[in-house]
Amino acid sequence: MSHPRQLTHLFSIYQTLVKYGLDELIPVTRALPILRLFLWLTPAYWQRSAAAPRGQRIREALEELGPIFVKFGQILSTRRDLLPDDIALELAKLQDQVKPIPNAQAWQILHDAYGCAPDVVFAEFDPNPLAAASIAQVHAARLLDGSDVVVKILRPGIEKRIKRDIELMYLLAELTQNYWVDSRRLRLIEVVQEFERHLYDELDLMQEAANCAMLRRNFEESDLLYIPRVEWDYTRRNVMVLERIYGIQISDIEQLKAHKVNLRRLGEIGVEIFFTQVFQDNFFHADMHPGNIFVDAENPDYPHYIAVDFGIMGVLNKADQHYLAENFLAFFNRDYHRVAELHVVSGWVPSNTRVEDFESAIRTVCEPIFNRPLKEISFGLVLMRLFQTARRFNMEVQPQLVLLQKTFLNIEGLGRQLYPELDLWQTAKPFLERWMRERLGLWALWQNVQEAAPQWIETLPQLPILLHSSLEQLSQERRQREQMLVQLKSLEQAVKSNGRQHGVNIGGAALLLSGSLLLSLQNLSVSYTVMAGFALASTGLAILLIAWLSDNR
């Protein structure tokens, strides 16, 4: 990584903020008057546009800065509890109203992908995009068989821009970790690595299509979430074609109310969908901002969700999945001692952490939010307080969970807009209790037996041979040990017959014998503990023998 190049990029970012009159938001500008004097000499300062509303200026600056900054704005846009309305409304446009690529360029991308003019592939193609985001844009189209579809086109040159921004994130992470000791527990470089991996996944639309197909299978029998069908014959690495869906965007609360949609049910099934993806399927949609979520209001009393954009999907390993479920349940039951224990057992806090102290700190943060509706809880503020608590106990950030935490914040933001009276605890707790019973109960044991049965059946005919081989090996190892004991007795006789003057040489021979013993036992597949015991005992005996004989020469 070239640090000078990245520092130049960092300065260009600062220049963009100056251009949109946002430099006052950066404390260092006020703290260092010399920096402001320098900025007066730059062209960007004289091109600044401070006349537009601040929300618009922030949105336009993020668009100009590129995809990663747009994604940051998308995340912020879901947190209406943390932002003033004017800024939140403008940032919401980053979800699907980013400046589109020119029509001619989009047409050329399709031509290159299919090797022919797009009007040969599509009966109809709308040149005006339905939605335009930071990495791709979506057009309405119709296939030759009459099927209504949407065509997702990757922005040209996007990989180069993302690579540049990722390099800058690495530089900032390195500088932070080098010059701020407390930041090391944040594991910033690993967090950037995790973010980078998921971001690059978005640049392969074939992979996104595969994600879409898998999520569709997971919810095929469900009436909670609908996933559109992939048109594989028309999908390429930079072009994806999906069944077109129709619904009300989740953020359009007025339209939902006009259709008399049951918002309480929407809020409750939203929580259920989240926990189903995370714990039951272990494959969750990790980019659930309002631009990617729609509602089918055909049956307003029993509405369901429709999801699009599957570029970022999350998975957890079994250990993290188990610890998270137990943490949630313990938290819902106000069992803070168990929460503290789980953090220690899982390695999320140092093993020498005093559980009682950690329990007390968690109780202080979490107890005030219980039995309150969602509208009275700000998980953003709770997370800030938990972060302060974590700092006291040297708790490290878990990079593999960052994506899940981001998704959970998105879900909370959506739930707050839909049905602020939602009781998150009562909605989620029964699901987690059922999942834990299925995972740890007799049913889980029976499922494990069923999964292992084919392997057992395959191994069963070989058991007599394996048993005979094991017995033969044990017998051989016993004979070998007996031979070694005979050699040790011979060595003892040699010591007595040759006298003490040759003791040092004989002791050396004992050391060699102990090494041979170690190698022999290793070749016979004896366990490491037995092997080490024999070797250490014989080596120690030889050293003592040498010392005693040397002192008495």
DSSP codes joined into one string, 277-299: IIIIIS-EE----GGGEEEE-SS
Report residue 109 as tokens.
């991308």
DSSP three-state, residue 43: helix
Taking a C-beta distance cutoff of 8 angstroms, is the pair 400, 191 a contact?
no
| Positive/negative CA dihedral, 389, 391, 393, 395 | positive
| Positive/negative CA dihedral, 34, 39, 41, 45 | negative
Rounded CA-CA distance 311/232 in Å is 16
Alpha helices in 148-262 (DSSP H): 158-179, 188-201, 205-218, 253-258
Question: Which amino acid makes up residue 46?
Answer: W
Q: Which residues contact 446 (CB under 8 A, 6 or more apart)?
A: none
Q: Active-site residue numbers?
A: 287
Taking a C-beta distance cutoff of 8 angstroms, is the pair 314, 284 a contact?
yes
DSSP three-state, residue 420: coil
Rounded CA-CA distance 305/459 in Å is 47
Residue with tokens 């631009």: 291
**Segment holding 412, helix H or strand E:** helix 399-418
**Segment holding 465, helix H or strand E:** helix 463-498
Taking a C-beta distance cutoff of 8 angstroms, is the pair 504, 549 a contact?
yes
Strand 148-154 and strand 136-143: pairing? antiparallel
